[in-house]
Structure formats: C-alpha cells, structure tokens
Structure 1
C-alpha cells in the first residue's frame, strides 16, 4: 500500500521532530512505503512552484491513502485532503491532543468539515498515534479496489467500446456494474457472506 503523508507547512516547520516521528511510524507499519512533500522537494531542484505541485500531484495520484497531520490546518493541507477525496482515496486526519486519555476525547465537528465516508478524523498523542495509524491502515486495506487483467473476446470488447461511448462510462465501470448486479441476484453468494 502506498501512503502519502501530509501536513501544513507551518506544522512541518514548527514540529519537524514530530513530523519525522509520525512518518517513521507510518514507514514501520507499512514496510517502508511512505511519501511526503519533503521527499518530493528533495528529489530535485524545485525552485519552480508549478513543477513542485505537479510532482506532488503525481505522487498523490499514485498513493492509495493519505494520512494528514491536521493540528495546524492550512489551505494547502485542505487542498491535499480534497484532492485525495476527489481521487477516491481514504484519508486519515490526525489532530494532536495534549490529553493522555484519548479514548474519552472526541473530534469536535466543525461546520466547514466535509462529511465524507472517505475521511476519518482522529485525536492522537504520542502514546496513541501508532495504534491509530495501524487501525486506519488495516481498515483501508479492506476498502481498496483490486486490479486484475481480464482477457475478453473481440465481440465483448466491441460491446464495451459501444456501451462506453453511448453511456459515457469507462469499460471497467460497465464490467463492475454487471458483476455487482450478478452478486445481488446470486442467492448462494448472499448466504455465504
């Protein structure tokens, strides 16, 4: 699983040790697979902001989930979260707490906060951050789509091309819809679940 870790630039500048600590936890829990804007900046000479943003967007598209440290919100971090949601990525927004008793603390809803099944908000402290991230990674793996190659005869390909053009849907979506319909109608499958 590819994870992109983001924070506001002010959080990164003021809390570099904590940023690195969280990133190291993600790396440990995810077999070394984690990227962040700091990696993107270090990969080349990005004096041109548009090149930096272009590279960051590519990394975002390639990731499976976004983990965002949201204690110091910013427009840039909000953009990263919105971009991840628009790309159908699962998002964990971590909000630092000074409390030792995280279990009793809830994230206070904000009127501007997007209500989305793709976004999980969680309070954390130094003791709870690892378990919070671990739970999110485990839950996200269950929600990720699986890719596979399907070899089809030319007639089915012609139909998919036609349906894709006339219904303005991707071929993969047409196949996915057909399988979902079959799953709904299959009583044996419904009982086995």
Structure 2
C-alpha cells in the first residue's frame, strides 16, 4: 500500500449538522435584532435590560460557530449513530407537544399548556407514566410561572390555574399583613 492510500480520507461535510449551526446563528441574529429594539433608559449605568439578551446572543453565536466547525469536520455524530433510523412517531409527539404549547398558551394559560407539552414530549421520549409526567410538568410549570410572574413581574400567560393560585396567594399575604 502506498502512503497516499494510507492517508485518511478528508472528512465529509455534514449537511444536516451544518444546517443546525446556521439555523442557530440565525436565531442569534434574531436575538440581537430584538434586543436592539428594547428601550434603554439613560438611568441605567452598567446593567440594564439588554445585558442578559446580549449574553444569550453571544452564547448562541459561540455555540453556532462551534457546531458549524464540527459540521465542516464531518459532524459530531459517531459513525454507528449515523446509521440509526429516525423514529418519526417519537419525533411527531415532540413536535405535537411543542405546537400544542404554542396554540394552547393563550386560551389555557402557561401552566396548562406546559403540562400538555411536557406529557407529550415525555411520551415521545418513551415514557408511559402519564400521571407522573403531568405532576412533574405541573411542578416545573408553576415554578417557571411564579418565578417570572412574582419574582420578575413578567406575565408569561396567566390562565385559570394561575389566576386561582394568585387569588389564594394574595388572600394569604393579605391575612399575614392584616
């Protein structure tokens, strides 16, 4: 065998992986564009409302460039995984869960839409324990909702569940103060 036969073949361009990196770079561009639209008061000295969006954008840019570099070097999947067929049924449940959240957050509220999404995504990943998934989804959704609503003052979609809990919390706080 000659030395040219022993040299490794150049890595193939991993097109799907490249598309993911380019898509993530586009997301970073969207974050930058939307962050530029945030009004910033001159009263902010160093840390204003755009700091975390810009940090997120920088992280997305770095990650996307690393993904693009990996794609140019042949991708990040091991060879044995490249031959694994896509489980379209599982993928379908994950996509349906994400779409359900998008469509149901307005009429049902953040918590209910998140529980439905969580259960569908868990099922897509193979879980058969729907009740456990719903309870975990409820706990995570309530933590996220009240973290945004109470701690940050950002309404991310109050619905029936959130309104009832807010009424109970406000009544409890009123009792403590009164």
TM-score by length of 1: 0.21
Greater Cα radius of gyration, structure 1 or 2: 2
TM-score by length of 2: 0.23
Structure number with the higher helix fraction is 2
